[in-house]
Amino acid sequence: MASDDECLSGFDGGPANSIIIVEFIRRYHKQILESEELVSKKDDVICALKGYLSHPDFTTQKLEKCSPSAFPALVLWVKAVGQALTFLATEGRERELVEFKTLQAWLDSAKENGNQIEEGSAPSCKPDETTSSPSDFERSCLDMFEIADARFARAKMSEFQEFKAMANPPEAMGRVRDAVGVLVRAAGLTGA
């Protein structure tokens, strides 16, 4: 794998399209990335997320330089996160998850090996014309994590099972089921 300097340079100054992913790493990396089943992919995922999503010029080739397995790990991890956040959204707050759903759709449309990603094609969490400043917009993006925090603590395994059965097409169930299962177990929601 490439060095941290190669993968992560300039990460802290990343643009708005990395805000949601960066914040999720900050809040939930212990529960997800340190879970037993994903620990072997931890470095690859961090490299892919912090590098690719923080730099408009971070090409597929540079991603592959970090690790050939980085993109599949990124897809798996983001699907787990995205599915959980979609479930955790309270009624009437779905607007706050649009950016994450867009990211999921973008990942779904890419080839599993990442070779068909167009440079600069990653969706952005963009402020609309009425947004007064980047800081205001950033706060609005991060609000959804406060909602998820409260809901996540109260979620029950049965609710996740029902969600998984209803929300995913059969052809996607296997991979997403496994990913959500990792997320649920890592967060301790099964009581294990």
Give pLDDT tens digits along the chain (192 positions).
333 333 333 333 333 333 344 444 444 444 444 455 444 554 544 444 444 444 444 444 444 444 444 444 444 445 445 444 444 344 344 443 444 444 444 444 443 434 343 433 433 334 344 444 434 433 433 443 344 333 433 443 334 444 344 344 343 334 434 444 444 444 433 333
What is residue 36's predicted lDDT score, i.e. its pLDDT? Answer: 52
Contact between residue 54 and residue 18 where contact means Cβ atoms under 8 Å apart:
yes
Handedness of CA 105, 63, 127, 97 (dihedral sign): positive
Structure tokens at 58: 């971070």
Nearest to 154 by CA among 79, 90, 61: 90
Torsion of CA 161, 95, 35, 106, to 10 degrees: 100
CA atoms of 85 and 58, how far apart (whole Å): 26
Instruction: Provide the greatest CA pair distance for the chain.
Output: 47
Helix intervals (H) in 67-169: 70-88, 98-109, 134-154, 157-167
Q: What is the pLDDT of residue 177?
A: 43
Helix (H), strand (E) counts: the chain? 9, 0
Prediction pTM value: 0.24
Residue 35 has a pLDDT of 52
Angle, helix 157-167 to helix 70-88, in steps of 10 degrees: 110
DSSP summary character for residue 26: H
Task: Encode 160-189: b = buried (16+ Cβ within 10 Å), e = exposed.
Answer: beebbeeebeeeeeebbeebbbbbbbbbeb
In the prediction, which pLDDT does 189 show? 36
Q: Residue 40 has what pLDDT? A: 52
How much is the pLDDT for 150? 39
pLDDT for res 163: 38
Rounded (5°) CA angle 75-147-98:
50
DSSP 110: S
